Structure 1
Amino acid sequence: MLGAVNYAQLLFPDFSLIACGWALCRYTALNRRVWDQVESLVYYFLFPVLLFHSIVRSPLDFGATSSLLGAGVTMSLIGIGLSYSLPWLPWLRHYISRADHAASVQVAFRFNSFICLTLSERLAGAQGLLLIAVLIGVCVPLLNVASVWPMARHGNTGFLRQLVRNPLIIATASGLLANVLGLTVPNWLTPTLTRIGGASLALGLMAAGAGMQFATLGRGKALAVSVLSIRHFILPLVAWGLVHALKLDAAQAVVLMAFSAVPTASSAYVLASRMGYNGPFVAGLVTLSTLLAAASLPFALALPR
């Protein structure tokens, strides 16, 4: 198992890229106008290519991983249900902006795929990498749909119309279909797609930093605490319960626990911003989630199995 220092090292690249974007936007000529164009590039091209390639490059063995898939989907649905319910809770509903909730609800249940892949390989080797690939392939489409729905519903823009036009949904659905059909990416194209994926991660995190405004977090403290508590405390406990209830083997258990506690997806900011919501607030949540993962990962992996 990785030590606490290694968790910090694992998360440092993401946090440092967020900090770079924040500094560049505020202290150089690369101002807000530049980063608006970067967000469009990431949202409409770079992130879709990354998602498609991530899903299609690993075979999905549903039979051998049915228990893990059941646990991952159940945990994801619980996260979606808890985050959706926040405005209806009597002690919270007067302190939560419905528009900010629609944009930030995704922070509670989405995950950083790159950190999942890296961590699973370190914890469980090649088997861990295959297990997390299957989990990502099934959960990404579900969670992307769940992320779009509150914003489409709140904005009265038509859920199905937003769904069929959303580049992240199209990319994940296409990748899953290609995988199921046994289609693969040609070897000569793989290096290009890998580099595009690296660019999407770096630019997406820097765009989140550029759009971040810490003051917005202060105005939405109740919502911020709620979604981050679901992401980094409640979901690890749910995963721990599912490990025991479904009697997952050691490799499946460690992959699920890591999956439950990683930072939220860096594309959460770009999605909220491109759909016309409070991007700076979501960018702040992405940053805090990255920091909190340094505590939630050791917590989740230390729970007895």
Structure 2
Amino acid sequence: MQSLLLLLPDFSLILLGALLRRHLLAAENLWAGIEKLVYFVLFPALLFNALASVPIDFATTLPLFLCALAVLFGGFVLGWAGQPLMGLAPIAFASRLQCAYRFNTYIGIAIAGKLHGALGVATMGAMSGAMVPFANILAVSMLARHGQGSLARELLRNPLVLATLAGLGWNLAGFELVEPAQAFLKRLGDAAVTLGLLAVGAALRWGQVGGRLGGSLWLLAVKLMMMPALAWWLGRALGIEGLAFELLVLFAALPSASSAYILAMRMGGDGPGVAWLISASTLAAVATLSFWLYLLGVAG
């Protein structure tokens, strides 16, 4: 119960976003503008400020990153193994495969900050930001084989990648942010979490699942149950403990990201099928994240 109560405020914002889009703020261009604001301005500011301002133990962070990368590739392989269950054309399967390993950074940052404050935000931000290029490489390379698009262009214009690299570079160089700049970035970051979660809710889409339901359920099981189980096993095997272990499992258990839908549409893929999977994983994550937080003992 405590785990569910911990998640309630964040998932309430997601529900509010869905209700606002349906009943009060239905204009598509409004939510498209909010998503761009969060993606290109607010969330990069949050990542840069967290990574530039909080001391990071890189001796502990490197094993965490390597473990997260292994879990990401594990999700890709497990998702790929479900192809015979899908009954889809190659481009449609490549579109949906993203939902087996891509992760919703907004939800991760919100929960990490609630659990561990600024250090949790910095650690989750660094881990998520470091995994974004690899998730994009997997997704874009698969889609580019069957559709259209450029891997290099997708990576070079990704603001989360740029903000992560800039924040880590600032930290490694030993620079300090002056107080006005830090306060400015903090206020942008505070807005990022709230507006980001509202945008997640507004982006929820339901329609025909397409293909075979068993294949879609397999991808959901990979993302919400198999990946965090793999993270748990790898983390213990590599001796990762404390905050790092908790956030590793949380990272692996996050629902699929709305960016999977955007990429699928941009590269000529199966947008509606991806949208269904994102929506289903987001709603199911209320239960599955509660389960993993309970096992971790961080909310009870």
Q: TM-score, normalised by structure 2?
A: 0.76
Q: Tell me which of 52, 60, 85 is aligned to 1:92.
A: 85
Structure 2 partner of 1:24:
20
SS of residue in 2 equivalent to 1:214: coil
- Residue 48 of structure 2 is aligned to residue 52 of structure 1: yes
In structure 1, distance between residues paired with 2:212 and 2:190: 32
Whether the 8 Å CA contact 2:16–2:198 is kept in 1: the answer is yes
Q: 1:245 to 1:146 in 2, by over 3 A?
A: same
Instruction: Give the C-alpha shift of residue 234 in structure 1.
Output: 0.7
Tell me the SS of whatever aligns to 2:171: helix
Asked if the contact 2:104–2:255 (Cα under 8 Å) also holds between the matched residues in 1, the reply is yes
Return the alpha-carbon distance in structure 1 between the equivalents of residues 113 and 24 of structure 2. 38
Which whole-Å deviations, capped at 9, do the CAs of 1:176-207 have from their partners, x for residues lacking one?
33333334433212233233233333333333
1:8 is the counterpart of 2:4: yes
Residue identity opposite 1:74 in structure 2: A
Q: 2:237, 2:18 → 1: CA distance?
A: 43
Please point out which of 278, 286, 290 is paired with 1:294.
Answer: 286
- Please list, as runs of the form range in 1=range in 2, the aligned pairs for 1:207-226 lying within 5 A after superposition: 207-217=199-209, 221-226=213-218
Distance across 2 between alignment mates of 1:230 and 1:287 = 15
Which residues of structure 2 form unaligned runs of 5+? Answer: none
Instruction: Tell me the distance in 2 between the aligned counterparts of 1:122 and 1:211.
Output: 24
The answer on whether the counterparts of 2:4 and 2:286 sit within 8 Å (CA) in structure 1 is yes
Letter of the structure 1 residue corresponding to residue 227 of structure 2: L
Mapped to 1, the partners of 2:133 and 2:187 lie a distance apart of 23
Quickly say closer, same or farther: Cα 1:38–1:295, change in 2 above 3 A: closer
TM-score, structure 1 normalization: 0.75
CA distance in 1, matches of 2:258, 2:124: 18
Please name the residue that 1:201 is paired with: 193
Structure 2 equivalent of residue 171 of structure 1: 163
User: Does the CA-based 8 Å contact 1:55-1:175 persist in structure 2?
Assistant: yes
- Structure 2 SS opposite 1:24: helix
Please give the secondary structure, in 2, of the residue aligned with 1:215.
Answer: coil
Q: Distance in 1 between matches of 2:42 and 2:250?
A: 26
Counterpart AA for 2:26: L
- Which segments of 5 or more consecutive residues in structure 1 lack a partner in the other structure? none
Distance 2:122 2:25 in 1: 44
Q: Match of 2:64, as an amino acid?
A: L
Q: CA RMSD in A?
A: 3.7
Aligned-pair identity (%): 36
**What is the deviation of 1:279?**
5.2
Please tell me whether residue 159 in structure 1 is matched to residue 151 in structure 2: yes
* Matched residue count: 297
Q: 2 CA distance for matches of 1:220 and 1:209?
A: 26
Establish whether residue 82 from structure 1 lines up as the match of residue 74 from structure 2. no
1:109-258 paired onto structure 2 within 5 Å: 109-113=101-105, 115-117=107-109, 119=111, 132=124, 135-136=127-128, 138-217=130-209, 221-258=213-250
Q: 1:220 to 1:86 in 2, by over 3 A?
A: same
Which of residues 55, 58, 61 in structure 2 aligns to 1:62?
58
Deviations along 1:59-107, one digit per CA (max 9) or x if unpaired, are 3322234443332222122123333x257x3x225x2354444444443
- What is the CA deviation profile of residues 25-72 of structure 1, one whole-angstrom value per residue up to 9, with x for unaligned ones? 333363223323333333333333333334333333222344433322
